[in-house]
Amino acid sequence: MGTAGELIVDSLVANGIDRVFCVPGESYLGLLDALYGRADIDTVVCRHEAGAGFMAIADARLTGRPGVVCVSRGPGASNAAIALHTAQQDEVPFILMIGQVAARNVRRDSFQEIDYRQMYGAIAKWCAEVTDPARMAETMLRAIQTATTGTPGPVVIAVPEDVLTAPTHGAPVGPQAMVRAAAVPADVAMLRGWLENAARPLVLCGRSLDRPGGREVLRNFLEQWNLPAVVSFRSQDLLPNKHRLYAGDMGLANPPDQMMVLRQADLLLVLGARLTDITTQGYTYPDLVRPQMRLAHVHADPSAIGTHFAADLAVVCDPQELIAALGAPAQWPDGVARAKWLDALERERRKIVAPRRVDVDDGVPFEDVVALIGQNLPPDAIVTVDAGTFGVPVYRVIPFTPPQRLLAPIAGAMGFGVPAAVAAGLREPARPITCLVGDGGFLMTGNELAVAMERKLPLKVVLSENCSYASIWIQQERDYPGRAIGTMFMNPDFALIGRAFGFDVTRIKSRSDLEILPDVLAQRGPQFVIVRTSLDAVRPTR
Ligand SMILES: Cc1ncc(C[n+]2csc(CCOP(=O)(O)OP(=O)(O)O)c2C)c(N)n1
């Protein structure tokens, strides 16, 4: 008979989880002890629960398994909140294990006590407080199932410290049967007809295809059916961006010309995407509530369909299942109309990716840095991106091609970039990993570089230094010209910080310094590049 803490660890391992991220706390000593000496699960000790959470999210995005974070009660659980929000918005399976106050003190306003079901009730898919060690196995089963099915997302499990050390007879349960649903044959037949006959079809593909095999299945499907596709927000790595059928992404604000063309689609097939704010351009594409074109929506989660936009065909299943059911077209869907449609989409995409050269003398336009990184990106690279205006060109000019990966916070959470790179380095030590981060976001987290140092990860960090929260400054300049407040700051010496974490440091102060960048990023060891980034290049009045 083991303890409930041991059962938690055994349950994680039984479900293929081989790594947890943590900041220790006195309220979960029993769980920490259960991790002691285990060769089958790696305990990554972090310096802040937000960073630990972001690492777990990035890890989950690379493995498809839940990212797990163990934190202390009250303060630890509060620090982890941003990761929960991100896991929810980014549709990432995520488990937050919290050591709760002792069972006898629960709901007594005890030291560092929080009722997590209230705190996280609106964010988490499920929030459990386990007061009976006999229910630990069942709780773990449900936690993993809930985090991974439908729209994946965060679950929270709070366990009182004395329950963690209590004995239990429970046995860990390994992976359950996958929840599978299939489209009914009549719907498959109808969709086949629509796909064959549409003059201007468009596929909008989303997060559910970010699964093992998803990219290959998607590409093959689009090619077989001659279908152009756009990807949901920050999901550029689902398809080769230079492919003739790649029509771009749904970003923060797509150009009006492109949207005019997209509006002409006569069939919109949404594959594994939720039709949320940004992907629908603020609920304007397609038309609310009854889309102007035929809408077929395929998602494993029924609550993702028909929430804002009325679908003409609603299929609740994994998009890979539907693609398999569709099979190949009876004949290659071609014709003059479809060829013209593909040309029109391609014309708009070319306009978007065209380089935008600006002449400035206050530093380097960060777009030039991103373009150079894109041109020299190794075929198996992983790029992690923080939130900020420096990142905007990443989504435009880097022509991602699977297996290259883009790990960017879909929720737009600053502080994601560095921890994501560290987690990627731990998970994929042989792949080149580049992190792009602003000087604002770098100091929101950044301490995760201690883990990179400890684990000897040869990360490449490219820091955009403009002494500004420029994304916000741009909006102030636009909406309150000349009245910017709170968006300029003084920085510490980032070179010293980089060196302190064991990185070689390179400074890029002008365009002419840029030529060394490809060589620096190709070095074997950890590299920290500080770019003096131009603000004038992003000034809205230009
Ligand atoms: C955690 C968090 N806090 C605040 C914001 C709002 N926000 C979005 S971008 C941004 C500024 C980013 O600054 P920096 O990292 O320096 O990049 P820059 O925009 O200057 O390129 C802020 C404050 C956010 N997205 N996330």
Closest CA to 71 of 106, 34, 117, 22: 22
Closest CA to 532 of 518, 513, 515: 513
Closest CA to 231 of 196, 270, 193, 263: 270
Condensed to tens digits (0 to 9), the pLDDT of residues 435-459 reads 999 999 999 999 999 999 999 999 9
Closest CA to 299 of 330, 274, 336, 335: 274
Condensed to tens digits (0 to 9), the pLDDT of residues 309-341 reads 999 999 999 999 999 999 999 998 888 999 999
Q: Which residues line ligand 1 (CB under 6 A)?
A: 386-390, 412-415, 438-441, 444, 464, 466, 468-472
CB 86 within 8 A of CB 483: no
Dihedral of alpha carbons 319, 423, 57, 204, sign:
negative
| Cα gap 534→251, rounded to integer Å | 23
82 CA: nearest ligand 1 atom: 1
Q: What are 204's strand-pairing partners?
A: 230, 270
| Cα gap 116→78, rounded to integer Å | 10
Condensed to tens digits (0 to 9), the pLDDT of residues 237-283 reads 999 999 999 999 999 999 999 999 999 999 999 999 999 999 999 99
415 CA: nearest ligand 1 atom: 1
Give the C-alpha distances (Å, rounded to integers) separating 120 from 80, 356, 363: 11, 43, 43
Mean pLDDT, the chain, integer? 97
Task: Please report the pLDDT score of residue 254 as a whole number.
Answer: 97
| Cα gap 139→12, rounded to integer Å | 12
| Cα gap 485→483, rounded to integer Å | 6
| Cα gap 162→166, rounded to integer Å | 6
Q: Is the pTM of this model over 0.85?
A: yes
| Cα gap 69→63, rounded to integer Å | 15
Condensed to tens digits (0 to 9), the pLDDT of residues 475-530 reads 999 999 999 999 999 999 999 999 999 999 999 999 999 999 999 999 999 999 99
CB 27 within 8 A of CB 161: yes
Give me the residue label for tokens 């960090």: 461
Ligand 1 centre from 470 Cα, in Å?
7
**Pocket perturbation via mutation, ligand 1, pick of 79, 414, 467, 532 by most ligand atoms within 8 A of CB:** 414
CB 267 within 8 A of CB 202: yes
CB 53 within 8 A of CB 86: yes
Mean pLDDT of 138-156: 98
Condensed to tens digits (0 to 9), the pLDDT of residues 361-402 reads 999 999 999 999 999 999 999 999 999 999 999 999 999 999
Q: What is residue 122's three-state secondary structure?
A: coil
Size of the chain, expressed as the number of residues it contains:
542
Instruction: Give residue 542's pLDDT band: very low, low, confident or very high (50, 70, 90).
Output: very low
- Give me the percent of the chain exceeding a pLDDT of 90: 97
Instruction: Give residue 357's pLDDT band: very low, low, confident or very high (50, 70, 90).
Output: confident
Task: Please report the pLDDT score of residue 488 as a whole number.
Answer: 98
